[in-house]
Amino acid sequence: MKIIVCVSHVPDSAAKINISRDGKSIDKTSVTFVISPYDEFAIEESLRLKEKNGGEVTAVSVGGENHKETLRKALAMGVDKAVLLKDDSQRDSIAVARAIADYTKEASPDLIFFGKQSIDTDNAAVGSMVAEMLGLPSVSVVVKLEIKDGRVMAEREIEGGHEKVEARLPCVIAAQKGLNEPRYPSLKGIMGAKNKPIEERVPTSSPLRVQLLVMRKPPAKNAGKIVGTDVSAVPNLVKLLHEEAKVI
């Protein structure tokens, strides 16, 4: 089974985000970058399928030199190969998807995994876009997956419930938290990953279709009032919610 798992390199969820002077990007000083958390579920699922069925897992990332850190993490977890589609320019979702789709076409994998979204731009779009570009079925926000006799049985999260989806292979899967419990890289894995080569390629270019005009901090929320310090404050709170906020 040939599997590709696409990963992105993003600010840690605990990071404070400040806007840089250009007003269009974040200030990267003192921000720690990590693998996007949902991608870890995608890697784990790829590795489990490989362990069960044999085959090869390749991690792919689109971005600059710093994305190698995340690719090394994927190698340390156990993927066989890592490929950086190296590009420092700004790409929108379609342009990222184009780069991955063109690389993937050549590799013709059975499965392409993504995290359900990168926790930086939060588009949750690239997986479905790659599937469309390659004419493949896809299932997003997957919390349960079974591959049997060339068929995919997946369960995806929807509002207040789940959908069971049946699809054929090859297929694109976007992983949601809950799909599995990602492993920690072993010490041996971490040491081994240091020496594994990361293949670099120049991805196909694609015009920007979404232009970022401005980035800013959301309006600061002022700390409100402390209504009280114990249960005696409850009637007053309810009164405020009813009469001042008018939300109940």
Of residues 152-211, those binding other proteins (CB under 8 A) = 152, 156-168, 171, 176-178, 208-211
Identity of residue 221: K
Q: How far, in Å, CA of 150 to CA of 169, rounded? A: 6
- Rank residues 107 and 119 by Cβ distance to other proteins and give the closer one: 119
Which segment (8-16, 70-78, 103-111, 192-200) binds other proteins by CB under 8 A?
8-16
SS3 state of residue 89: coil
Non-local CB neighbours of 197 within 8 Å, separated by 6+ positions: none
Which residue, among 118, 15, 139, 111, has the nearest Cα to 61 in the 3D structure? 118
Query: Which one of 21, 148, 194, 248 is in contact with other proteins (CB under 8 A)?
Result: 248
Report the largest interatomic distance among the alpha carbons of the chain, rounded to a whole angstrom: 68
Q: How far, in Å, CA of 73 to CA of 198, rounded? A: 12
Count residues near other proteins (CB under 8 A).
Answer: 85
- Site residues for other proteins, 82-111, by CB under 8 A, read 92-94, 97
How many other C-beta atoms are found inside a 10 Å radius of the C-beta of residue 89? Answer: 10
- Rank residues 64 and 235 by Cβ distance to other proteins and give the closer one: 235
Is-contact 116 128, C-beta < 8 A? no
Identity of residue 63: G
> Shortest gap between Cβ of 8 and other proteins (angstroms)?
13
Identity of residue 34: V
Please tell me whether residue 7 binds other proteins under the rule CB under 8 A: no
Which segment (45-53, 57-65, 102-110, 214-222) binds other proteins by CB under 8 A?
214-222
Please tell me whether residue 127 binds other proteins under the rule CB under 8 A: yes
- Rank residues 191 and 234 by Cβ distance to other proteins and give the closer one: 234
> Shortest gap between Cβ of 3 and other proteins (angstroms)?
18
Q: How far, in Å, CA of 199 to CA of 83, rounded? A: 5
- Rank residues 39 and 87 by Cβ distance to other proteins and give the closer one: 39
- Rank residues 53 and 236 by Cβ distance to other proteins and give the closer one: 236
Instruction: Kindly report the backbone phi and psi dihedral angles of residue 171, in degrees, each rounded to the nearest multiple of 5, phi listed first.
Output: -150, 150
Which residue, among 88, 113, 110, 81, has the nearest Cα to 100 in the 3D structure? 113
Question: Quick one: tokens of 135?
Answer: 């004419």
> Shortest gap between Cβ of 161 and other proteins (angstroms)?
4
- Rank residues 51 and 166 by Cβ distance to other proteins and give the closer one: 166
> Shortest gap between Cβ of 115 and other proteins (angstroms)?
10
- Site residues for other proteins, 128-157, by CB under 8 A, read 128-129, 131-133, 136-141, 143, 152, 156-157
